[in-house]
A and B are shown apart, each in its own frame.
Chain A
């Protein structure tokens, strides 16, 4: 079946001008408040055609693509797919996929905590079979899809995506979208941004192959020569509108640049051949900065160029740090302006005024007064200098366009006492007109006697600089001055080899640490067990194990419940209370009135589903909701039964009390619980649950419902905790609402010791089982050593802190290594 779907269809669709378009957009528009992201877009894509799409940042390409694949609902207009009108209200990502529209996103929509094959499942769930070995099909699908598009790439399909290189990830993203046998329209959003020339050529030849099968392709790229090379027609967008449609043949790059809004303003070189005689603000004297020390002076604009990630941002970070490294001399105060406004720039709750004045306030002593009357004139003056409308000082910062937000961030940095202004790709996502303003501004700042150090990802911008330092492999490989600065020179220098090849991160050691962390729960389990056996040899007997492991079963189950919540990067503070609640219900109501009791248990499950719903739908931190819920569970338990007591239903005990091959029952129960957890985690559903742990956006775009899976996650957790509660009732023949509370911390400790990470959706069921048993045994060990049980909590708490500290240390080393 898989072979069939990977083979190209034999019939090629002949080109015919009069045929119905594959996809036809009529006056599509999309407004966000007063901004029109898309306006009156009329466009058609034919089967077997490659449509190139170009436009400056912010031209509306991304919005249009999100509309095409059902992520965003347009405000106006209609869409027809193969002649059939689409109901736009019901046009979801899932519906788009069902109709054969696939997209490879520029910002990559892969889940880093899933393997390559599992990522294929996320996007193509329709091939999953009810079979324990279901993932094998996906390994094959992934391998074949990758090999077909990028012959020789050899991306390992069992590797976690997070461990792949950026180019490999991009190949996976493309192959995944293109592997749909129902594919009708493939959208490639900047598909070659991280690919080398050869891979890019392979991709283009694959696209040709697709069109021969009658599939339409939309190819979005900033690499204009590639667009012209691959496309049949090219569309240019500007200000949310389609402004230009033409056959690719006979179109030149200059035509496209013109159509996109002209780089005329941007390209204008504010040439200035001069040797600055300002004060030396920065001296770079290390080996990595070349043979001669480099001096950067007041009044200069210094460009920091190179391929992305060659050490440019490290230099900026070092210059901004409180104490620069020994080979960087800094004389003067620095300010930082980031182009990653959403993450590193704006304070979203604040007005423009507050966003500007924080720059002054940040460096004041904590108890000094802040007065609006003092800040406003300063901010107004700066706004005026930057041609930022003063009327907007009281608007929320997010109401401003990207370019104006950036102006506010620059205004923040315009302190009198600042000597060095660091610009980190400040024009990202800023439209071309605003860029022109911005360049003029940077020159003004430099003229005012400040040193400007400017990192950009757009080589064209370096034409605005007095000098450009080109990085490669973490070193400065070239310094260009004045008229030597050109796009070609920078690109040529970027590919220079540094003298010393950069040291490859010590993969070996990283892997050793990772393996060691994974082994912790098992090693410590063996160690604790060995110590206990050496103290009392009877421990290793069947009876000893039975006695020892019986209390561990509860913790194993609760820890597994906690693990599924942690798999979603959340924490359940109510799991102990819930277990106690189930314990009480099953020892009281379930005995007296089985029907009512079962009703109460089901209500408990539904309660957990509701918790999952509230957390996801209202975006409330899980910790607060589950903390509140823990009081609800405990309160209900207390209301049902105010002091310990009760009994077990007669049918309950046999459920947990049987024997197999003379093995101790608790051992079998623990193994069983572990197996169920592993199977769940490795099942298709478990894969999606884990995928949600690394973020919801990509999954949502692939058509998975975050709310449904959040509810499912909590119901699974509740099911494990419920079994734990029933087990306590069955073995103790009584209940105590307060007995459950201590399990909350223990379950988190077990999960952490077991090798799960609290963020990112990395979980390890078997490790958790081993960790939980270890913790339970430690309690018994302390008791057998005669340690007061009062110390248990402290020992467990300290153990948790110690293991987390170890993990943090290992992670940091991995990052630095």
Chain B
């Protein structure tokens, strides 16, 4: 009993897995419509959510209440830029990709600069930079023209290899990379050290600022790539495109068992958390709930899970 409890505490991803199985079972029993096909829809939606969720996970893991609130604006802006720079050829797609990555890099560095050099709390810094980006979106929104999608762009976001969506393959590759980074690399250890105690990490020799900066840059890069792929998937860009990713990125991280207080994260958990969250949303859509109710339930689920799990560091240090 005590051992299984310890197992659960160490492998917090078990909880979202249980959630997924229950929800899946319930859906299969309740609706005949729910088939393997809808599961593939869930897989694609989760794949899109997974990229910004990994970014959010890295930022949250640095601790001290760090969070990236600029994700939705970055996603939207990147989508707009993808549409605007696209000329329908694969050669032109290289330029699009470069522009999108440049946006991600720029936003990430700007956020890191605000947090580390100007020392503005991350939530305020990213909230403010998100607003600035939103203005950028408004400005380009006025000039957006027709979208001619490059074949490669289309293949990446909607194509399939055999029966597997390319997007899913991308997400799985990113998940493997994130999993490796967190659990097997020196970077992961250094990040977890920073998240538990910045002072202790600094005195142990970790280059704290570099680690924190890298998480903001990763987060912005992943968000901008999401914007790129999303525009290819949706065949265009629209104003509210990134909005769901604010709450859902936090939600996937929280549901996956990453500590909201920082210092401990699990890529596999976030993967399952993203799937669970998308399943919850899908269930609500199948049930025909209006968008307002869906928002309410998402908020309730996230607060509820947090309240149950608590955010206290593994144990009190007193």
Contact = CB atoms under 8 A, between A and B. Distances in A.
Interface in A264-282: none
B315 A348 contact: yes
Nearest to A806: B118
8 smallest beta-carbon distances between A and B, as pairs: A638-B292, A635-B295, A794-B135, A635-B296, A797-B131, A366-B187, A639-B292, A790-B138
15 contacts: A338-B200, A344-B197, A345-B203, A347-B193, A349-B196, A362-B190, A362-B201, A368-B185, A620-B307, A623-B65, A624-B303, A628-B299, A628-B306, A638-B290, A642-B290
Contact of B317 (A336, A348, A364): A348
A719 to B, nearest CB: 21
Given A358-B204, A366-B190, A623 B123 contact: yes
B186 A365 contact: yes
B314 interface: yes
B243 to A, nearest CB: 10
Contact of B303 (A342, A361, A625): A625
Interface stretch (B39-47, B165-173, B259-267): B259-267
B295 A638 contact: yes
Nearest to A641: B292
Contact of B293 (A365, A639, A790, A797): A639
Interface string A411-448: 01000000000000000000000000000000000000
Contacts of B67: 621, 623-624
Query: Which of B127, B192, B261, B313 has the most chain A CB within a 10 Å cutoff?
Result: B127
Given A335-B205, A349-B192, A367 B187 contact: yes
B149 to A, nearest CB: 27
A791 interface: yes
A342 B132 CA distance: 39
A794 B246 CA distance: 19
A492 interface: no
A398 B311 CA distance: 18
Contact of B120 (A618, A796, A804): A804
A346 interface: yes
A796 B131 contact: yes
B132 A793 contact: yes
A628 B128 contact: no
Interface residues of A, number: 74
B294 interface: yes
A798 B132 contact: yes
Contacts of B261: 621
A801 B290 contact: no
B96 interface: no
Contacts of B254: 624
Interface in A659-704: none
A338 B306 contact: no
B263 A349 contact: yes
A495 interface: no
A332 to B, nearest CB: 14
B17 to A, nearest CB: 22
Interface string B179-216: 00000111111101100110111011110000000100
A122 B14 CA distance: 46
Contacts of A812: 119
Interface string A320-362: 1000000000000001101000111111111000100011011
Nearest to B291: A638
A796 B128 CA distance: 8
Given A348-B317, A804-B120, A358 B193 contact: yes
B99 interface: no
Interface string A175-192: 000000000000000000
Contacts of A801: 114, 118, 120, 125, 128-129
Given A361-B190, A367-B187, 4 more contacts: A348-B196, A369-B186, A573-B123, A638-B295
Contact of B307 (A361, A362, A618): A618
A357 to B, nearest CB: 8
Interface string A623-641: 1110111111011111110
A629 B300 CA distance: 8
B240 to A, nearest CB: 10
A748 B125 contact: no
A344 B296 contact: no
Interface string A731-745: 000000000000011
B23 interface: no
